[in-house]
Amino acid sequence: MKFSVSRENLLTPLQQVAGVVERRQTLPVLSNVLMVVEGDSLSITGTDLEVELVARITLETPAEVDGEITLPAKKIMDICKSLPSEAVISFEQEEQKMRIKAARSRFTLSTLPANEFPNLEDTASTSAFSINQGYLKQTIDRTSFAMAQQDVRFYLNGMLLELTQNQIKTVATDGHRLALCSASIQIEIEGSTQAIVPRKGILELARLFSDDDTDVSITLSSNHIRAETPSLRFTSKLVDGKFPDYDKVLPKQGDKLVVGDKAEMKQSFSRVAILSNEKYRGVRVRLENGTLTSVANNPEQEEAEEVINVNYEGPELEIGFNVSYILDVLGVIKSDTIHMMLADSNSSALITDGEDESAMYVVMPMRL
């Protein structure tokens, strides 16, 4: 195996792939990336057995000798980052070692054979569609914050993708709050298809995709999801489980509408949160005609109170919330206005963007 590549061409794909590789591994080969060179094409693969990422690079000059080998991911990335930006890096394999040269720098890395590197097996596709990268990233970003972390209900440690005729929905919940976003896509499908993508897979997708207009091809099979662009192929295992029926969680009885300025609400709740209980983060919200008052206390008997003007006409209502959950929702709403629909002090709040109804957020109340 012998080829050359510019640092500029190699660094970004290498960083993308190395992001998938876990530092601590049970199998030594999983700390490595697989490099395969064939003619003027170089592919780099990283995996942790849950997710796999393949980046493809076109070499400026075809390889002198084709081949495949695995190299330590972190070391090769650190070497690449430390070289000058205009450097051209040459790779040459000599038995079990890889010799790397750039200008006056010389490195010799240990390797492991390519046949030891695992790959996520292909399975027959059940659904396939294309979607704008920026559109998909935005849909994920608007819901991913509500995913559970290390919950014993393993199906909550991920995001539900639901496909119906010409529509995709992303849903995430940790049992205390729920986020739902829908987007239009071109797909012919009978009924609906559901898949739970694990947390790591979702975070990697959000990291890999940019806000540009290029399309990404998504393929779903019974146990994998694959996303592919001309330069990247990302595969993740799916979570085997049944996602809760989110439709039952959406509050239907709300009859008290609060319309407020998002920035003002965010600042107000952020200030009150300073003196909330560090563990439970509880804030008491009191609604009266035209005003929203939020109050927080902590075990040291300290108190914060904020009053802001809102559009609300209805009976007086007092309800408790985890202020972090409210701030998370306010952080992903794009427009300047938010709508909050409430029923009573024991029912969940339904929060929506004042100008965009494609996303909905449910926050359960707290007993204070």
- CB 161, CB 168: distance < 8 Å: yes
Report the alpha-carbon distance of residue 138 to residue 330 in Å, rounded.
15
CATH 3.10.150.10 placement within the chain: 2-116, 125-248, 250-363
Any alpha helices (H) in 244-290, and if so which ranges?
246-249, 262-273
Model confidence at 151, in pLDDT bands (50, 70, 90)? very high
Model confidence at 189, in pLDDT bands (50, 70, 90)? confident
CATH domain 2-116 topology: DNA Polymerase III; Chain A, domain 2 (3.10.150)
Rounded to a whole number of angstroms, the CA Rg of the chain reads 25
> With pLDDT > 90 as the criterion, what percentage of the chain qualifies?
88
Angle CA 108–110–112, to nearest 5: 145
- CB 129, CB 218: distance < 8 Å: yes
pLDDT at 346 over 80: yes
Assigned CATH for 125-248: 3.10.150.10
User: Tens of pLDDT along 35-71?
Assistant: 999 999 999 999 999 999 999 999 999 999 999 999 9
| Strand-pair category, 349-353 with 303-309 | unpaired
Residue 125, pLDDT score: 83
Model confidence at 201, in pLDDT bands (50, 70, 90)? very high
Report the alpha-carbon distance of residue 358 to residue 334 in Å, rounded.
12
Mean per-residue pLDDT of the chain: 94
Average pLDDT of the segment spanning 179-188: 91
Sort 211 into a burial class: Cβ within 10 Å, 0-12 / 13-18 / 19+.
exposed
pLDDT at 250 over 80: yes
> With pLDDT > 70 as the criterion, what percentage of the chain qualifies?
100
Model confidence at 123, in pLDDT bands (50, 70, 90)? confident
Q: Of 3.30.2290.10, 3.40.50.1470, 3.10.150.10, 3.90.45.10, which CATH number belongs to 250-363?
A: 3.10.150.10
Sheet holding 349-353, edge to edge: 193-198, 158-164, 167-173, 177-184, 356-363, 349-353, 337-342, 256-261
Report the alpha-carbon distance of residue 266 to residue 283 in Å, rounded.
13
pLDDT at 352 over 90: yes
Q: pTM for the complete prediction?
A: 0.91
